[in-house]
C-alpha cells in the first residue's frame, strides 16, 4: 500500500485559507468605520475646547527688562556708502530666583451629542522672588514688567500680581517678544506638534536693584493636559486634582505622587541645573524643559475597538480552524458559505461593540456584543449547520467561542504584557489544534499490485 494525499481535505483546507483572506475585506471596512467615528468625536471635542480652552502651557512669571542697543545699517547716499547707527530698545527676559507653585484643579465632563470631553479649571498661585540684576540693566528699569505667557489666553481669568506688597493688574500683549514652545506630543496619537508662540499678559512694575518678591494668582480653563516650564533656579510645583486618571510626561516626572479613585496629588522639585533654563533666556527654546499632566479618559472606546479589530483576522482564523477540526472529528461537512456566515457574524461583533460602547461602559458593551455573537453562532451551528448536534457539542462550541472573546478582552486590558500573553495564547491554541487533529487521516491508503517478473 502507498499513501496519497487526501484531496478532499486538501481542497477544504485551501478553501478555508481563501475564506480567511476574504474576511480581511469586511474587517477593513470596520476599521474605516471606527476611524470615521473617532474623527467625528475629535471634531466634537474640538468644538468644546475652542470655546472652553484647549491644552494649557504656562511659562510664568518672567521679568522683562528693557535695554538699548545700536543697530548699524549701510545706506547709499551722495554716491557713497555710509553707515547709519540707530538706537533701538529690546527686552531681556529673566527667570525668578525661586518659584513655589500651587495648582488646584477641578475637573468636569462636558457633553456634545453622545460624546463626553473632560475639561478642567485650575486655580494657580505662584510665589517667589527675583534677584538683583547688574546695574547695566537699570537705566530703563522704570519700563520693566512681569509677563505671564501661555498657549491660550482666553481661558485665563482674574490674574493679579502682588509685587513687593503692592497689587498690580495685567493687560493683554507685551512689548517684548513672547516665547516659542513646541508642545509635548501625545505618544498615543502618534503625531508631533509644531512650535507655537505663546500669548502674553503684562503687568508693569517698579523694579529696583534689590530685586523683588512676588505673588501671582490666576485661574485658567483648559482640557486634555496642563504643562509648565520651570523657569526659576529653584522650582517647587504642587498639584492636586479630583481627576483619578492622570498621566505624567515630559522632561520631569513627579518626585512624589499619590493617586486614588478620588483624585491625585503630585510634587515636583526642579533646579535650573537639570532644567537647563539659564537666568537670562532671551529667545531660547525652552521646549525640552516642559513637564505635563494629561487628564486621561479611563477607557477610550474607539482606541480599544481599534485594538480589538487588529486581532480580528487572528480570531476569525482560529474560529474557522475550530470549525474545521469539528468537521473532521465528527465527519459532518460544513459548506464554505456557512463558514462565511460565521465569519460575518464575528465581524459584526466589532460594529456592535463600537456602536454600543458609545452609550454605555466599554466593558458592558463588550460583554453584550460577545454574548450576542456567541449565541448567534451557537444557534446557527445547531439549527443551520447540523440539526442533530448534541448538547455536548453545542456546549463545546459555546465554550470555545466564549474563551476566545474572554481572551481577547484580557489582551485589550493589558499594555506592556499584551505581546507576551498573546504569544502564549497562540502557542496553547496551536498545541490544542495539533492534539485534536492527531487522529485525522490526512492520506488515503490504496492497495498497489506488485509488478514484475518472478525470478
User: Residues 223-250: pLDDT tens digits?
Assistant: 889 999 999 999 999 999 999 989 999 9
Mean pLDDT (whole number) for 401-422: 80
Give the pLDDT score at 10: 77
Residue 279 and residue 416 share a domain:
no
Residue 75 and residue 14 share a domain:
no
Residue 190 pLDDT > 50: no
161 touches 203 (CB < 8 A): yes
Question: DSSP secondary-structure letter at 183?
Answer: P
Lowest mean pLDDT among 16-30, 34-48, 187-201, 378-392: 187-201
Residue 275 and residue 161 share a domain:
yes
Does a structural domain hold residue 195? yes
Residue 426 pLDDT > 60: yes
* Torsion angles phi and psi, residue 375, rounded to 5: -65, -40
User: Residues 78-120: pLDDT tens digits?
Assistant: 677 777 777 778 888 999 999 999 999 999 888 877 777 889 9
* Torsion angles phi and psi, residue 417, rounded to 5: -95, 5
pLDDT: is 400 or 185 the higher one? 400
pTM: 0.73
Q: Rounded CA gap, 151 and 170, in Å?
A: 17
Residue 262 and residue 376 share a domain:
no
Q: Are strands 98-112 and 234-241 parallel, antiparallel or unpaired?
A: parallel
Q: Rounded CA gap, 261 and 133, in Å?
A: 47
Residue 414 pLDDT > 80: no
- The segment with the largest mean pLDDT, out of 129-133, 254-258, 404-408, is 254-258
Residue 314 and residue 204 share a domain:
no
User: How deeply is 95 buried, as exposed, middle or buried, from its count of CB atoms within 10 A (0-12, 13-18, 19+)?
Assistant: buried
Residue 431 and residue 370 share a domain:
yes
Range of the domain at 198: 55-298
Give the pLDDT score at 61: 94
Does a structural domain hold residue 31? yes
Q: Rounded CA gap, 448 and 455, in Å?
A: 20
CA proximity to 57, closest of 250, 275, 276: 250
Does a structural domain hold residue 176? yes
pLDDT band, residue 397 (cuts 50/70/90): confident
User: Residues 54-74: pLDDT tens digits?
Assistant: 889 999 999 998 888 777 777
Does a structural domain hold residue 92? yes
Residue 10 and residue 62 share a domain:
no
> How many residues belong to the chain?
455
Does a structural domain hold residue 421? yes
Number of domains in the chain: 2
Give the pLDDT score at 326: 75
Q: Which three cell numbers stand for residue 189?
A: 496619537
Amino acid at each position: 500500500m502507498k499513501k496519497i494525499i487526501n484531496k478532499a481535505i486538501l481542497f477544504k483546507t485551501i478553501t478555508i485559507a481563501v475564506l480567511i483572506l476574504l474576511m480581511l475585506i469586511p474587517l477593513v471596512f470596520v476599521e474605516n468605520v471606527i476611524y470615521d467615528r473617532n474623527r467625528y468625536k475629535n471634531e466634537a471635542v474640538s468644538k468644546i475646547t475652542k470655546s472652553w480652552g484647549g491644552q494649557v502651557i504656562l511659562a510664568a512669571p518672567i521679568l522683562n527688562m528693557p535695554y538699548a542697543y545700536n543697530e548699524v545699517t549701510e545706506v547709499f547716499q551722495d554716491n557713497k556708502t555710509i553707515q547709519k547707527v540707530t538706537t533701538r530698545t529690546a527686552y531681556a527676559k529673566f527667570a525668578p530666583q525661586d518659584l513655589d507653585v500651587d495648582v488646584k484643579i477641578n475637573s468636569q465632563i462636558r457633553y456634545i451629542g453622545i460624546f463626553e470631553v473632560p475639561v478642567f479649571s485650575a486655580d494657580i498661585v505662584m510665589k517667589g522672588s527675583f534677584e538683583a540684576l547688574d546695574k547695566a540693566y537699570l537705566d530703563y528699569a522704570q519700563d520693566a514688567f512681569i509677563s505671564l505667557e501661555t498657549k491660550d489666553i482666553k481661558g485665563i481669568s482674574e490674574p493679579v500680581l502682588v509685587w513687593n506688597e503692592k497689587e498690580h493688574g495685567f493687560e493683554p500683549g507685551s512689548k517684548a517678544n513672547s516665547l516659542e514652545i513646541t508642545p509635548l506630543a501625545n505618544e498615543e496619537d502618534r503625531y508631533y506638534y509644531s512650535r507655537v508662540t505663546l500669548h502674553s499678559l503684562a503687568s508693569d512694575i517698579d523694579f529696583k536693584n534689590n530685586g523683588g518678591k512676588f505673588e501671582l494668582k490666576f485661574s485658567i480653563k483648559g482640557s486634555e493636559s496642563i504643562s509648565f516650564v520651570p523657569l526659576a533656579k529653584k522650582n517647587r510645583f504642587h498639584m492636586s486634582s479630583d481627576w483619578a486618571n492622570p498621566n505624567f510626561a515630559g522632561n520631569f516626572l513627579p518626585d512624589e505622587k499619590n493617586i486614588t479613585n478620588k483624585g491625585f496629588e503630585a510634587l515636583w522639585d526642579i533646579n535650573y541645573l537639570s532644567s537647563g533654563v539659564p537666568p537670562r533666556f532671551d529667545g531660547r527654546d525652552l521646549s525640552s524643559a516642559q513637564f505635563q499632566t494629561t487628564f486621561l479618559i479611563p477607557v477610550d472606546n474607539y482606541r480599544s475597538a481599534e485594538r480589538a479589530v487588529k486581532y480580528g483576522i487572528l480570531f476569525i482564523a482560529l474560529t474557522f480552524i475550530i470549525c474545521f477540526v469539528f468537521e473532521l472529528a465528527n465527519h459532518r461537512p460544513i459548506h464554505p458559505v456557512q463558514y462565511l456566515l460565521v465569519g460575518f457574524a464575528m465581524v459584526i461583533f466589532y460594529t456592535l461593540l463600537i456602536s454600543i460602547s458609545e452609550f454605555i461602559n466599554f466593558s458592558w458593551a463588550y460583554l453584550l456584543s460577545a454574548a450576542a455573537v456567541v449565541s448567534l453562532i451557537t444557534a446557527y451551528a445547531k439549527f443551520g449547520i447540523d440539526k442533530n448536534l448534541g448538547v455536548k457539542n453545542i456546549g463545546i462550541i459555546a465554550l470555545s467561542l466564549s474563551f476566545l472573546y474572554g481572551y481577547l478582552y484580557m489582551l485589550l486590558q493589558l499594555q506592556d504584557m499584551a505581546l507576551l500573553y498573546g504569544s502564549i495564547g497562540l502557542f496553547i491554541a496551536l498545541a490544542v489544534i495539533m492534539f485534536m487533529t492527531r487522529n485525522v487521516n490526512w492520506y488515503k491508503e490504496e492497495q498497489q499490485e506488485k509488478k514484475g517478473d518472478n525470478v
